[in-house]
Structure 1
């Protein structure tokens, strides 16, 4: 398997993701696919299938969380590995879990027993305290704090500087539904 990375999206977040990938020092080649920034991209998003043999890794650096989640699934169907990208200056507890398609930006912190699900962004200097669950596609923006023992439902954005606490949590049913579970009546 080669160590080449395709980044889908060459906008602001895509450029941040590229710098994180470079700082990690594990990829041999990093390029963009983008539908609008053709001056720095080697092709459009739909061209990803063409590059599947040349790039083993692909990462959707798209600001829309639902689109990010859709692209994670599509890239994996096209035989790409979706990496976890963690800047070397971020702190990730050894007991925390960060899942594929997530990016943890510089100076961010993910504390003990916390879970960062697929397709999340933990922004510059953000803090996710201990025993916290961040659902699929969430964005904990720059400097935001998610306090201990919280659950954040899928596709939630916590704005820069905000403090997310237990009073902000969804009901158990809202949380489960947002994370792909249904409560249909029947056998």
Structure 2
């Protein structure tokens, strides 16, 4: 039986980084799928607007959390890869969901639980007992102290810090460099040091 090829859904800058992780893991990449018909090639791999027929493994290489969730709801019969960069530090006691990527230099400590289709970006630190729900994006150089929880779809911006025990709700946005010292409700946008809520989505 031939090896199932990996197809990356999203031919963008994020897709480039994910591709190089897949290459470093020795995976066989069939190409990209992207809705933009103008893009025909990325990193010397072909780009198509449609998934190929037959069996394959997918990875949604799109940074936008809502788009990832929408695509997953549409691709109900597909198998999704989980990609962990060889230079990431991942505790053997952590749990990582399908479709998630852990990028180079990231560190996940003991009893961390990461949901499905999450992004743990370059050099992010996720300490013991943190729990991240599905479709969360943790940007480069984010630091989550121990026992932090992050709700579905939340995006934590580059360089943000969250102190221990904080609860961040669903579909929040934490601004770049923010310092979060208290709980954040669902749908809130938080910026600054200390973090302050500037708006809340309904």
TM-score, normalised to structure 2's length?
0.76
| d(CA) in 1 for partners of 2:135, 2:150 | 10
SS in structure 1 at match of 2:20:
helix
Name the CA distance, whole Å, in 2 between partners of 1:4 and 1:60.
14
Number of aligned positions between the proteins = 167
Report deviation, 1:172. Answer: 10
Matched residues in 2 for 1:161 and 1:144: separation?
A: 5
Report the aligned-residue RMSD: 2.1
Aligned to 1:178: none
What is residue 110 of structure 1 aligned with on the other side? 108
CA distance in structure 2 between the aligned counterparts of 1:59 and 1:167, rounded to whole angstroms: 30
What is the aligned partner in structure 1 of residue 162 from structure 2? 164
| TM-score (normalised: structure 1) | 0.81
Match of 1:71 in 2: 71
**1:29-40 counterparts in 2 under 5 A?**
29-36=29-36, 37-40=38-41
| Greater RCO structure (CA 8 Å; 6+ sep) | 1
Show the counterpart of 2:84: 86
Deviation at 1:57, TM superposition (A): 0.4
Q: CA deviation at 1:56?
A: 1.6
Instruction: Return 5+ residue gaps in structure 2 as ranges.
Output: 170-182, 188-202
Listed one character per residue, the Cα deviations across residues 99-122 of structure 1 (whole Å, up to 9, x for unaligned) are 111110001011100011011100
Structure 1 or 2: larger helix share?
A: 1
Q: Deviations over 1:19-64 (max 9, x none)?
A: 1111111x223311112252214311xx12xx141x5201111121
Instruction: Say whether the 8 Å CA contact 1:18–1:30 is kept in structure 2.
Output: no
Q: CA deviation at 1:174?
A: 4.9
Alignment CA distance shift 1:173-1:107 (3 Å): closer
Asked if the contact 1:59–1:72 (Cα under 8 Å) also holds between the matched residues in 2, the reply is no
